[in-house]
Amino acid sequence: MQIQPVVVTPAAVETSFITDEEAGALARATPNLFRAWGLSDTEACTLLGGMSPRTWARWKDGAVGRIDRDLRMRMAHLMGIHKGLRYLFRDPARGYAWIRKANAAFGGQSALDLMLRGEMSDLSTMREWIDAERGAW
């Protein structure tokens, strides 16, 4: 029996690149998600990284302009949070309401309170927490 050489294949580099098409879909879905969560315009602008109220008003009317990398990632985290909550709660209304409910795991604050601190890391941490709660790890 002859020994065969092991063929080395490079590891695939995983990127979190969000295409223009995907960003457009996220931008169209975001106002609907925020409406379901019952967010104010001020809260929406904060979650979107300090978006101006005027730009947010245009988004709600369907006029989305350029979407930078930060905004793409913020929306991806928000949709990931939404997806995780849909897995955790059979009744969508319970998941939507959970966002505002005080939670002992968050020191009595709500998930929204934590996300409204405004940092990208706040969104990613919440997404990771929800994923861990639903057993995705």
State CA 121 to chain mean position distance. Answer: 11
> What are the pLDDT digits (tens) for 58-87?
999 989 888 999 999 999 999 999 999 999
The residue extents of the domains of the chain are: 20-133
Render pLDDT for 93-125 as a digit per residue (tens, 0 to 9): 999 999 999 999 999 999 999 999 989 999 999
Average pLDDT over residues 15-27: 87
Instruction: State in Å, rounded, how far the first CA of the chain is from the last one.
Output: 42
- Percentage of residues in the chain with pLDDT exceeding 90? 77
**Amino acid letter at 42?**
T
